[in-house]
Amino acid sequence: MTFKTFIKKHAVAVYGILTISASWLVWSRILTILEPGELLSGPSSEAMIYVALGGIVPSLTGVLMTAYLEGFKGLRELWARVTNWKMNPWLFLAACLPLFMTLASYWLQKMLGIGSASPDILNKIPAGLGIGFFAALGEEFGWRGFALPRLRQRYSPLTAGLLVGLLWGGWHIYPDYIGLGNWGWLSAPIIFILGPVLLTIFAVIMAWLHEKSQNSMLLMMLFHLNISSAAFYLARETNTYAEQLMSSVVTPLIGLLVIAVILVTQTRRHKPALRAVAVK
């Protein structure tokens, strides 16, 4: 077995190891500048440079591995998925689900008295859109551009989505610790919920959307943009650990509800076809 054959056989595992190792190595530099939890309250320009460098690794690794394994043909096919916009308009609305989910979470937390609204939400929208665009561009050529299609060759959309979500969420653990680690070990449940749990939920929804859109990368990037942007300008400010923990749980619960609705809808759509086959 040649080296290239080995890489192709274990492409997603190799991709995950390279991406996590490279990003975490870059992000480790931030902890020599700031303490855990200080990144969100008082970011420095130097620290933000390392945030950005680590943040583009998923897409960079995905593109490089695509070029290595499939050459220009693979790169052209990847780009064709980005420029594919001719699809059911309802799918573009579905790509905005993270915004609707975050809005629902925002109002639910407000009703429950969890935290306080962030000031000047409207003024934060331009920066939020910039953050969302950067996150989508820096990550999606990897998670959904490289990893998801290869997992779909072996697994169902649900299983492939779960696996990508765990990989994506695992990658997020370290930066979430850098940004939210001011509670020490008490930060672990919050980091776990906002990383592996929430991102796996999002990844399952994205796998369904990826399937419905015939592997559109454009929709994946739009979905990711909505995740990052909405989280930035609709986050509620929390002052206590209890509020922070409760706040982190709301959006995942809404996400599970969305997945349940999708599964029920898909099951009902397949029932008539099954009955027709049974009659024949």
Per-chain mean pLDDT for the chain: 92
pLDDT, residue 276, reads 46
pLDDT, residue 277, reads 40
Q: Letter for the amino acid at 241? A: Y
Say whether pLDDT at 38 is over 80. yes
Question: Which is higher by pLDDT, 277 or 95?
Answer: 95
Between CA 132 and CA 122 the distance in angstroms is: 15
Q: In this structure, is the dihedral angle defined by the CA atoms of residues 149, 151, 152 and 154, taken in order, positive or negative?
A: positive
Q: What is the pLDDT of residues 165-178, one digit of tens each?
A: 999 999 999 999 99
Q: What is the pLDDT of residues 183-209, one digit of tens each?
A: 889 999 999 999 999 999 999 999 999
Q: Cite the DSSP H helix spans in the chain.
A: 3-9, 11-27, 38-41, 45-55, 57-82, 89-94, 97-112, 121-142, 148-152, 157-180, 187-192, 198-212, 217-233, 241-279
Say whether pLDDT at 279 is over 60. no
Angle between helical axes of 198-212 and 157-180 (0-180°, round to 10): 140
Q: What is the pLDDT of residues 112-169, one digit of tens each?
A: 889 887 767 888 889 999 999 999 999 999 999 999 999 999 999 999 999 999 999 9
Q: What is the pLDDT of residues 60-112, one digit of tens each?
A: 999 999 999 999 999 999 999 999 888 899 999 999 999 999 999 999 998 98
For residue 162, give the 3-state DSSP assignment.
helix
Cα first-last separation, the chain = 48
pLDDT, residue 278, reads 44
Give whole-number Cα distances, 37 to 129, 131, 140, in Å. Answer: 23, 19, 26
Which position has the token pair 């920066």? Answer: 127
Q: What is the pLDDT of residues 220-255, one digit of tens each?
A: 999 999 999 999 988 888 889 999 999 999 999 999
Determine phi and psi for 98, rounding to 5 degrees.
Answer: -60, -35
pLDDT, residue 96, reads 96
Number of independent structural domains in the chain: 1
pLDDT, residue 144, reads 97
**Domain extent for 120:** 3-279
Tell me the pTM. 0.93
CA within 13 Å, CB half, 193: 18
pLDDT, residue 176, reads 95
DSSP 221-263: HHHHHHHHHHHHHSPEE--SHHHHHHHHHHHHHHHHHHHHHHH
List the beta bridge partners of residue 113.
none
